[in-house]
Structure 1
């Protein structure tokens, strides 16, 4: 997903995404939640700390 795609999906300006990724400023909690929701909708799964470190993976497609 490109930065413009994420900005559109999260309904924020591109500068919010760029600033967050480059750690230029602290973005609001609302922006962070909406970015996470947009990524999850696109198939990204966030993995909590489980002794091996937090991470992400792509959701496995199911065939039915």
Structure 2
């Protein structure tokens, strides 16, 4: 959901996170990845304007940052 909200394609996000496109596909399919890989993808999404929201009764989520 975060990737689509930014308009990034799988290859674009993979390049920003410095991971293989297959890694992005695996994450989106719900496969477990190494914590450092998840951190790299999260950092790339945050740079692209995504804000991660911690669980606050409604569960964790994402939104785009205000510009």
Q: CA RMSD in A?
A: 1.0
Figure out how many residues of one structure are paired with residues of the other and give that number. Answer: 60
| TM-score, L = length of structure 2 | 0.82
| TM-score, L = length of structure 1 | 0.85
Asked which structure has the greater RCO (Cα within 8 Å, sep 6+), the reply is 2
**Structure 1, unaligned runs of 5 or more:** none
Larger gyration radius, structure 1 or structure 2: 1
Runs of 4+ that moved beyond 2 A: none
Which structure carries more helix by proportion? Answer: 2
